[in-house]
Homo-oligomer: A and B are copies of this chain.
Amino acid sequence: MFSKNHFFGKDIVSIRDFSRNDLEFIFDSTDKIQQLTPEEKSELGKGRTLGYIFYEPSTRTRMSFEAAMAALGGSSIGIFDSKFSAIEKGESLADTIRIIDLYSDVIVLRHARDGSSRYAAELSSNPIINAGSGSEEHPTQAMLDLYTIFKEKGRIDNLTIGIVGDLKYGRTVYSLLYGLKNYHVNVHLISPPSLAIRKESIFEFERIMNINHYDYLDDIIPQLDVLYVTRIQKERFPDTQEYEKVKGTYRIDEKILDDAKIDLSIMHPLPRLDEISHTIDNTKNAIYFKQAAYGKELRSALLALILNEDPF
């Protein structure tokens, strides 16, 4: 593994741009940042400004980045509701990016369209961090998911990982799968047929990874080391009754733990509605809040690497 920070001044556009070495360097930096005192941390972004633009609202991700930047002693400014902004007046993405580029040192962008962050990175002189774009990309979420697995299980290789829920529309699922391609893992995808992973993506994944598909969680739960749960959104179903039926089937509760490995780790990108029972929260299997905490630390580390030539 390289020891030099080659993320200084770089964009974070797609999880597919990151090798196993890259990810391990970021994980190592995330370990390091947690060993700093608050005073030491608050020097790494002093006098620097993060500019965010959320074309889709995402309080969770926005606050995680703001908190990560605040811990570095820096400021955050931006737009989290396009209704109140020049965007509403019809300004192009290009102009909005160019302007926020002038006002900040690093830009965090959430946008509905595929390729939006790549496009922004070409226009911007400062680094772009993709905070979710299109149907497949949310690279910092994938990094924090991988880091969480690595910290909680001690490794990623040779794990058996189940991903359950809405595999068709959840961009975190695709980003996680692209990230997992760097490791030797068994992946089990569990979803109702109408929310199965998109076929064009399966093809790419299956060439490299060992991927299996299941309709029901019961079939596969005993084999899993990690269960990654995603929300099934009512709006995806034309028929409410079908939603209610499906929802219950994929709900994670204590009964599921009966058949699971004793050290099964349950993850969720949050927010969680009732797809995981609150009775799971206090079991040692629930690591979704740890995952969010690691997320803030990993984003602090990434920002420190992007803003400083040699931060650690």
With a cutoff of 8 Å between Cβ atoms, the chain B residues found around residue A248 in the complex are: none
Copies of this chain present in the complex amount to: 3
Residues of A in contact with B, size category: 35 or more
Q: Interface readout for A101-115 with B: 1 if CB under 8 Å, 0 if not?
A: 011100000000000
Q: Does A41 belong to the interface (CB within 8 Å)? A: yes
Known A59-B79, A77-B67; contact A86-B42, beta-carbon cutoff 8 A: no
- CB-based contact B73/A59 at 8 Å: no
One of B57, B66, B77, B296 near A70 (C-beta < 8 A): B77
A155: chain B residues at CB < 8 Å are none
Residue of B nearest to A80 (CB): B84
Any B CB within 8 A of the CB of A99:
yes
Q: Is the CB of A289 within 8 A of B98?
A: yes
Q: Are B39 and A89 in contact (CB under 8 A)?
A: no
Minimum CB–CB distance for A23 against chain B, Å: 22
Task: Look across to chain B and name the residue whose beta carbon is closest to the beta carbon of A59.
Answer: B85
Q: A103: which of B47, B64, B75, B78 is its contact (CB, 8 Å)?
A: B64
Query: A91 near B272 (CB under 8 angstroms)?
Result: yes
Say yes or no: A273 contacts B99, CB within 8 Å. no
Q: Contact between A100 and B63 (Cβ–Cβ < 8 Å)? A: yes
Asked if A94 is at the interface (CB within 8 A of a chain B CB), the reply is yes
